[in-house]
Amino acid sequence: MARKRTERRHLLGLIARSFYLQTAWNYEFLQALGFAYVMSSVGRRVASGGRATREFLERHTGLFNTNPVLASYIIGGTARLEERHSRGETSGAEIVALKSALAVPLAAVGDRFFWAGLRPLSGLLGILAAGWLGAGGALVLLAVYNVFHLYYRVKGVLRGYALGAGLVSEISRLRLPRLTVHVGWIGAFALGVLMVTAVHGWQAAWKREAVFVLPSVALAAGFLPQFLRTRVTEVALALGALGLLLTAGGLLG
């Protein structure tokens, strides 16, 4: 029982430290120094002695870069492998290999979801909500983004630690690519609604377009062909232009 309490405390520490991954970002080693800081609490427990400490730092100060949110999976998995390495159950090369194998796919998936999808969507929904809630729109923005952000920060460390080297198969089953499509579609229609409201006036547009069109079309987007689902930007611009044309022609409002 004492061991479980200790593990829980260390995992909470890793989750807290993961927020500092980007603080020492530089063009030479990218996130390496930040990652070494995150893992330093693990190093103090498992790498006692001059040679062990040196090898530990060498493993975690080399070039490293991935999505800062989904890096939580690598942090958890690396912590588990470092503990196994201290018991002689795995090699340092396997730890480095795990980091290298996961960094690129997590960057590709995470950047597309968080930077290109969720962040713009959060901003759009915050702006739309501001027309109704005033300053409360900022709270909507923060809530929409951080529900996903904090979920994956915590889940990544916990799942990574639980699976260790088995984390590779877990990453292949992440639902973020599919979720990115839906987030992009919702963002596209939110942008269309925002463009209409900018010209048409908030009250009328909110009652007519936003309440009915946005959720209905976002739901229907799941049944559209794949070639349309991957063209979120083009669809957003087209919908915005269509909304402006319909408004100018008096068909809306």
Give the pLDDT confidence of 173-228 residue by residue, as tens digits: 887 877 777 777 777 677 666 666 655 554 554 455 444 455 455 545 555 555 55
Domain with 17, as residue range(s), is 2-174
Query: Could you tell me which residue, 250 or 136, shows the higher pLDDT?
Result: 136
What is the per-residue pLDDT across 161-184, written as a single tens digit (0 to 9) for each?
998 888 888 887 887 877 777 777
Tell whether 44 and 128 lie within a shared domain.
yes
98 and 170 in one domain?
yes
State how far the Cα of 74 lies from the Cα of 171, in Å rounded to an integer: 10
| Angle 142-64-30 from CA coordinates, rounded to 5° | 70
One domain for residues 47 and 152: yes
Alpha helix stretches (DSSP H) within 18-164: 32-46, 50-60, 71-86, 92-110, 119-133, 136-163
CA distances from 197 to 190, 200, 240 (A): 10, 5, 10
Same domain, 47 and 70: yes
The pTM of the full predicted model, rounded to 2 decimals, is 0.75
Question: Do residue 100 and residue 112 come from a single domain?
Answer: yes
Residues 134 and 47 in one domain: yes
Whether 184 and 116 map to the same domain: the answer is no
What percent of the chain lies above the pLDDT cut of 90?
29
For residues 201 and 230, state if they share a domain.
yes
Regarding whether 91 and 13 lie in a shared domain, the answer is yes
